[in-house]
Structure 1
């Protein structure tokens, strides 16, 4: 089937289908699954169906009801995926990204906030802001710079680093719920470097428990580095 182009400016509505390039400027609603080579939305988008594209670019607000499958995604603004998202090469989000299902990718960069009901699985995971992940965060390299409260059930990776990006504000001192901290049940990896983290279990080869941490149990194979103000209820070399 031959691919055609879709181009809408202003307020418009279209049907899903097979396209070469999709360019949307304004307030647009698409009914049905959409398969294209490139997808570019500027403004407000509602897509009632699945989206498959080599490259997805969003500036503004977008809601996709179905599964999203792409090689590359560049998302700026408020983006909601109401199903699973798969990104085979790189996903960069500036703003707020919400995914009802899980996220599978190669390289994930979040500048702002990420919220998922399911797990996140990728090779490289970088967050400059915060996240709330309903399942497992599993990545080879995990680099987190906290500037807002974050939560995850379990983290697994090769190299895991969690640091705080900004200084403690007056609001955080008065209301601890607003503090830039990570809460997790289990954190497991080869090299682990944590600050401002609360976890029941931390397990790794080389583990550093830094400032602001409250850890229930640390299990380490090679070395444990503990800063003075870090709280560890139990530490065990295995």
Structure 2
């Protein structure tokens, strides 16, 4: 539907929003949507529960969000907690400040996380920047991966051009009460052109240039050009290929 034919919809308080096609949807309070929402902009402050799918250019959530279907947007901005039962696609960017749980996976150009990303499917993007942690049952595939851990992280496989993993030196106050020093990245396989790891456990690390830093436990390293190992790191074997 053309933009000129769309109408705005706004709601404050507690209530139910009709599914449909809109220009701008603004919700302040606690709201349920039975069905799908097709809009240019979705802006929610509070608690939003959508039984169907969401299609929009900008989806901005401040609070909590639950989507029973797919989420398809150009830009997602989440400040709080959210979950999506089906596939999540953000053609430009996904910015997560808090915690998000994705049942089927995430595809985006750029993903920035400050908090926790959980996905039972794969995560595919050009740039993945995480301050906190992630737990991905499938493959993490990105051109550039920058992980600064304050939470334990896990993925089955990680692939990218440039992969950097560090542990945050200063954790938030609540995390300081938890066993922060157990925060590690665990993966079966990590593969990239440039791989620089700290506090990582992996069966195989493969790359052109590989640095295995402090706190790492790696079963096998395969490298093409250069391999460096910190004195604290444990590496079962290293082979130039």
TM-score of Structure 1 vs Structure 2, range by shorter chain: over 0.9
Pairing partner for 1:6 from 9, 16, 22? 9
Tell me the CA shift for residue 192 of structure 1: 0.3
Tell me the CA shift for residue 166 of structure 1: 2.5
Q: Deviations over 1:11-46 (max 9, x none)?
A: 010221100000000000011111000000000000
Q: Where do residues 174-193 of structure 1 align in structure 2 (5 Å cutoff)?
A: 179-193=182-196
Separation in 1, partners of 2:39, 2:11: 15
**Residue 67 (structure 1) aligned with residue 74 (structure 2):** no
Separation in 2, partners of 1:93, 1:167: 20
- 1:27 aligned partner: 30
- 1:91 aligned partner: 94
TM-score, with length taken from structure 2: 0.94
- 1:130 aligned partner: 133
- 2:208 aligned partner: 205
Tell me the CA shift for residue 179 of structure 1: 1.7
Unaligned runs of 5+ in 1: none
TM-score, with length taken from structure 1: 0.96
- 2:112 aligned partner: 109
Separation in 1, partners of 2:23, 2:131: 34
DSSP 3-state at the match of 1:211: coil
**Residue 57 (structure 1) aligned with residue 60 (structure 2):** yes
Pairing partner for 1:217 from 216, 220, 235? 220
Separation in 1, partners of 2:179, 2:48: 35
Separation in 2, partners of 1:139, 1:35: 29
Tell me the CA shift for residue 231 of structure 1: 0.2
- 2:159 aligned partner: 156
Pairing partner for 1:141 from 123, 144, 168? 144
- 1:172 aligned partner: 179
Separation in 2, partners of 1:171, 1:93: 22
Tell me the CA shift for residue 223 of structure 1: 0.4
Unaligned runs of 5+ in 2: none
DSSP 3-state at the match of 1:4: coil
Tell me the CA shift for residue 180 of structure 1: 1.4
Q: Relative to structure 1, is the Cα distance of residues 91 and 171 closer, same or farther in structure 2, using a 3 angstrom cutoff?
A: closer
Where do 4+ consecutive residues of structure 1 move more than 2 Å? 166-173
Tell me the CA shift for residue 172 of structure 1: 2.6
Q: Relative to structure 1, is the Cα distance of residues 171 and 34 closer, same or farther in structure 2, using a 3 angstrom cutoff?
A: closer
